[in-house]
């Protein structure tokens, strides 16, 4: 079985969309997505510097647009059938990309949602000094205890011994001074404590947007970051996307579910690399493919076909 996975914030790098613009139709697609996002995604994906594209209000729509562009390039004119027999999942903001790939949101609604999400989360982050820190290694119980002792939230459980703690700057300093035994504590360059109570105001913004969106039942199994399970309907998926802003991302559970479903190949859409890396550690023995540039398309299609065919045979 094939899993198509969509990365989250932090996966973008300067100029990563430049080679994609050489493909027919990509400039037109990105122009349309830019209008919906209220950002010049072509400029941000080609010429903007690293500091500019770290901005939450820019990074999130840029990442979702990149996934939509690369999925359409992968699927060609048969987009609706590109992953038939497969499953789709996305990490954090990548869950919006995954929702569009699975047919639970239109591209237009995906961009409307990510625009509101990005702007609201950026505003919430500016309300007070908060941040996030990765905790790598250590015993799970020791890591959980250290995070709780500092008053922090385990905002991202990424599996393979990686947890991201989030909270106030003072709380993060307490964790840095009292790290779990045999664990590395790595401050992340993000604007705020995403996926925690500090983002409650952003949830309110998305709830107000809800009536303007038209969720649809996914045509493919679509996993929720809440518990890793497939969502039951388009409405349930939208509920999950909105609530996700202030509750932890359980990518570990998504990987466990992919394994339980018999996934044999994980294909990550651009900007690819992060989730493939987690899969190599958290889904050992599962083949993976990072779709980074148009030069990867032929091999990516062959990889997808191989694992879709394997699922049909079984």
CB neighbours of 204 closer than 8 A, spacing ≥ 6?
Answer: none
- Other CB atoms within a 10 A radius of the CB of residue 52 amount to 14
- d(C-alpha 19, C-alpha 48), whole Å: 15
Burial degree of 196 (CB within 10 A; 0-12, 13-18, 19+): buried
- Asked whether the beta carbons of 277 and 249 are under 8 A apart, the reply is no
- Which residue among 91, 195, 198, 307 is the active-site one? 195
The tokens of 267 are what?
Answer: 């294909």
Is residue 126 flagged as an active site residue?
A: no
- d(C-alpha 23, C-alpha 73), whole Å: 8
* Dihedral sign (CA 64, 65, 68, 70): negative
- Which residue among 11, 34, 48, 92 is the active-site one? 92
Is residue 246 flagged as an active site residue?
A: no
- d(C-alpha 146, C-alpha 141), whole Å: 9
Catalytic residues: 92, 195
């Amino acid at each position: 079985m094939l899993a198509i996975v969509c990365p989250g914030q932090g996966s973008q790098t300067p100029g990563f969309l430049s080679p994609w613009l050489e493909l027919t139709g990509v400039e037109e697609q990105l122009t349309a997505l830019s209008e919906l996002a209220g950002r010049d995604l072509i400029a941000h994906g080609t010429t903007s510097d690293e500091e500019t594209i770290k901005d939450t209000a820019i990074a999130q729509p840029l990442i979702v647009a990149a996934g939509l562009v690369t999925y359409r390039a992968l699927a060609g004119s048969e987009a609706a059938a590109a992953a038939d027999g497969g499953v789709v999942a996305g990490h954090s903001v990548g869950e919006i990309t995954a929702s569009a790939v699975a047919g639970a949101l239109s591209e237009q609604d995906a961009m409307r949602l990510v625009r509101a999400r990005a702007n609201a989360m950026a505003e919430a982050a500016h309300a007070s000094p908060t941040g996030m820190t990765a905790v790598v290694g250590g015993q799970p119980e020791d890591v959980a205890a250290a995070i709780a002792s500092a008053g922090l939230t385990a905002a991202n459980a990424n599996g393979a011994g990686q947890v991201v703690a989030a909270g106030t700057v003072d709380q993060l300093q307490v964790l840095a001074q009292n790290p779990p035994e045999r664990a590395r504590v790595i401050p992340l360059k993000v604007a705020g404590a995403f996926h925690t109570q500090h983002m409650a105001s952003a949830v309110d913004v998305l709830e107000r947007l809800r009536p303007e969106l038209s969720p649809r039942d996914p045509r493919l199994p679509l996993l929720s970051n809440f518990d890793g399970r497939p969502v039951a309907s388009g409405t349930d998926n939208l509920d999950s996307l909105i609530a996700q802003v202030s509750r932890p991302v359980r990518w570990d559970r998504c990987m466990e579910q992919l394994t339980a479903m018999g996934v044999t190949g994980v294909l990550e859409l651009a900007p690819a690399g992060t989730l493939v890396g987690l899969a190599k550690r958290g889904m050992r023995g599962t083949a993976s493919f990072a779709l980074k540039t148009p030069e990867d398309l032929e091999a990516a299609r062959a990889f997808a076909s191989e694992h879709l065919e394997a699922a049909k045979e079984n």
